[in-house]
Amino acid sequence: MNGLKTALLLGLLSGLLIVGGRLVAGENGMLIALFIAIGMNFFSYFFSDKIALASSGAVRVNDTQNPEVFWRLAKIVKPLCDRMGLPMPKLWVIPEQAPNAFATGRNPAHASVAVTAGLLGLMEDREIEGVIAHELGHVKNRDILTSSIAATIASAITWAAQMAFFFGGRRDDDEGGNPIAALAMMLLAPIAAGLIQMAISRTREFSADAASAQYTGNPDELVSALRKLEAYSKRIPMDVSPSMSHMYIIQPLSGKSLARLFSTHPPTEERIARLLSLRRS
């Protein structure tokens, strides 16, 4: 069901590009915007892991560097990877006291999983298993690819609108179209694209939660972890770039709340409710 919803949202985003892009910038303008967006997001797709890990200050752990942490994580990660049919990812620790985690990498062969020092200190191994299974769910579902496609289309819509503003709303095939409709599209299309992109992100979070429940065999692990993550995220703010916050298992907070429509994550209580329904089924 989550996969179908993602496909429908991507279809809606693509439709907005085709209709809105042509309306505000014409066919040639829309194609130029699309090529610009592809170029920008192609770079992001291949290098987003390095950017995310560097910006978070993550430190690589292995059996020679931080072996105690490595073996604690490896004994959790390796069985999960075997069950999910994934290669072992690179493991990283972020020197932050707020509990959180994210996965990155353009495909399973280039995946990395990063957890904060706070998560290791505050959570039991079973809760860490629930969190890591969620992150591996993103890897298995190739959510980095899905996010990159959504970002490319949304960026193209934004570029088309910006081009229309720059050229005074003139289209390459302008034949006296409705200027009010074009102006409204210039203003509203980027906002609509952003909302759809965020809705796709929220849907992928539900899918990763379901993967955690499936491959751990116990949704209560992630339920317990999410409750701790929600509580501590309010007590210990994390300084995370807004462009990176969507990657974390729970959206890092800095003392300011966001409206639900503008959030990259579903409400934690809704995630917990869905997980509990899986336990009863």
pLDDT in tens, 110-126: 999 999 999 999 999 99
pLDDT at site 7? 65
pLDDT at site 50? 87
Residue 253 has pLDDT above 80, yes or no: no
Of 89, 92, 103, 90, the C-alpha closest to 208 is 103
Q: What is the pLDDT of residues 145-157, one digit of tens each?
A: 777 777 777 777 7
Higher pLDDT, 186 or 105: 105
Specify the pTM. 0.79
What mean pLDDT is reported for the chain? 82
- Going by pLDDT thresholds of 50, 70 and 90, the confidence category of residue 74 is very high
| Residues acting as catalytic residues | 135
